[in-house]
Amino acid sequence: MKALIHKVLYRTLPLEGYLRAVSRLFFLWQRLGIGRYAPATEYVYHLPQLVRPGDTAIDIGANLGYYARTISRLAGPAGKVYAVEPVAPIRKVLSRNLRRCGNTEIIPYALGTENKPITMANDSARETGYFGTGQNFVNDGGEKAAVEFTAQMRRGSELFGKLERLDFVKCDIEGYEAVVMNEMRPLLEKFRPAVLIETGGANRPQIVALFTELGYRGYTLEHGQEAPLTENSTKDIIFRYAH
């Protein structure tokens, strides 16, 4: 049903209208508690266990603000949220969705190892019939994709190098997570934030190895509760520093 709704909206609305519509649907479903234990949305409901009042957080791959809006509310007026989103049309709707979040700053870049112009791509419409808003990726290989966007890349260790605290990081950047987390390693070592990260394929063991080396333990959600990470799990990972 969700896929059908997205297909109809994508085919009948301009891109911005589509993005606004699907984000409104998400926030409505969240208010109603729909998807509390669904793999695609359960981690949003778990954010109160990861973010506290006064926290400083970075949402890498903020997309339409599904996480950033909740993180902003949890961090409160004493907190700060940096919402990192490089794709201009998505960022426009993100800005609208965060317009009442006074503690949030939008960072209009992709994170990586260099400061340079890049191409972001999204091939989801070719496969599913609609634009998957969270499936934009850095097109290093230059392959032709269904939709492409120009963007700017910046080094996260430089952008956030002057932070006085960092309590939480959420990262969902479609296969670029190993690059970005390794580049931001100095911040991880300094602040030991809790980290929620989507990762898979060859990147997953690299990410697990990195955080294990840094003294973290990994967890996934099982019916709303954190359970120790297992080798065969493919779900998003919560990393907590093992004090």
CA distance 78 to 97: 20
In this predicted structure, what is the pLDDT of residue 2?
A: 78
pLDDT digits (tens, 9 = 90+) for 7-42: 989 899 999 999 999 999 999 999 999 999 998 899
Name the residue type at position 153: M
In this predicted structure, what is the pLDDT of residue 97?
A: 98
In this predicted structure, what is the pLDDT of residue 65?
A: 97
Token couple for 208: 């697990």
- Give percent of the chain with pLDDT exceeding 90: 83
pLDDT digits (tens, 9 = 90+) for 119-152: 998 888 777 888 888 788 888 877 788 889 999 9
In this predicted structure, what is the pLDDT of residue 128?
A: 83
Sketch out the chain's domains with CATH numbers: 1-241 (3.40.50.150)
Q: Average pLDDT, stretch 43-51?
A: 98
Whether 243 has a pLDDT exceeding 80, the answer reads: no
User: Would you say 111 and 60 are in contact if contact means Cβ atoms under 8 Å apart?
Assistant: yes
In this predicted structure, what is the pLDDT of residue 140?
A: 83
Among candidate residues 68, 35, 30, the one with its CA nearest the CA of residue 51: 68
In this predicted structure, what is the pLDDT of residue 130?
A: 81
CA distance 57 to 194: 9
Q: What is the DSSP letter of 148?
A: E
In this predicted structure, what is the pLDDT of residue 36?
A: 93
Which of the residue ranges 57-61, 153-157, 172-176, 179-183 would you say has the lowest mean pLDDT? 172-176
CA distance 228 to 222: 10
- Give percent of the chain with pLDDT exceeding 70: 100
Q: What's the chain's Rg over C-alpha atoms? A: 17
CA distance 13 to 27: 19
What pTM, to 2 d.p., does this model score? 0.95
